[in-house]
Amino acid sequence: MLEIVTPERKVLSEMVDIVVAPGELGEFGVLPGHIPFLCKLKVGELRYRVGAAYLHVAIMGGYAEVLNNQVTILAPAAEAAVEIDVIRARAARERAERRIAEVREKFDFARAQAALQRAMARLKVSERQ
């Protein structure tokens, strides 16, 4: 069972065959019968397989818990590929790239870098539809 939850909503609750997620220390996969663990997630692409179909979700960080054949993702934001507004994500990427290119004293570099990572994750996932 894969559940993806944000503060606003339950994004997904579905029986799946495998989950591959962007862990802070690297990508990891979970199959049925996996040992329990808890880890921090980074911004990126989560993918899962149901039968022969892989589906994709943009994850904006958070935590993953694997326990009793259930993967629970708690994220500040998450969007399935079909939900992503590609035009908005491209505009966010361009805005973040412009900010990064500016003099670093004029803005918060870490915030712009995080915004760029979020936009890139959304665009990568949106291409997987």
In the numeric block, the tokens 């966010």 are attached to 92
Nearest to residue 116, comparing CAs of 101, 86, 94, 83?
94
Number of Cβ within a 10 Å radius of residue 74: 16
Instruction: Quick: pLDDT tens for 64-77.
Output: 999 999 999 999 99
Domain positions in the chain are: 2-81, 85-126
Helix (H, G, I), strand (E, B) or coil at 126: helix
Confidence (pTM):
0.78
Whole-angstrom Cα distance, residue 90 to residue 97? 10
Tens place of pLDDT per residue across the chain (129 aa) = 999 999 999 999 999 999 999 999 999 999 999 999 999 999 999 999 999 999 999 999 999 999 999 999 999 999 988 888 888 888 888 888 887 777 555 557 777 778 888 888 888 888 876
Fold topology of 85-126: 1.20.5
**CATH number for the 2-81 domain, one of 2.60.15.10, 2.40.30.10, 1.10.3720.10, 3.40.50.80?**
2.60.15.10
